[in-house]
A and B are shown apart, each in its own frame.
Chain A
Amino acid sequence: SAVISQKPSRDICQRGTSLTIQCQVDSQVTMMFWYRQQPGQSLTLIATANQGSEATYESGFVIDKFPISRPNLTFSTLTVSNMSPEDSSIYLCSVDGGGVQETQYFGPGTRLLVL
Chain B
Amino acid sequence: ILNVEQSPQSLHVQEGDSTNFTCSFPSSNFYALHWYRWETAKSPEALFVMTLNGDEKKKGRISATLNTKEGYSYLYIKGSQPEDSATYLCALYNTDKLIFGTGTRLQVFP
Contact = CB atoms under 8 A, between A and B. Distances in A.
Q: Do A and B bind each other?
A: yes
Contacts of B34: 103-104
Contacts of A33: 97
Interface stretch (A43-51, A66-74, A78-86): A43-51
Interface of B: 4, 31-32, 34, 36, 41-44, 46, 49, 51, 89, 91, 93, 96-103
A29 to B, nearest CB: 13
Contacts of A107: 43
B98 A100 contact: no
Interface residues of A, number: 22
B102 A42 contact: yes
Contact of B49 (A4, A102, A106): A102
Interface of A: 4, 31, 33, 40-45, 48, 92, 96, 100-109
Contact of A106 (B4, B43, B102): B43
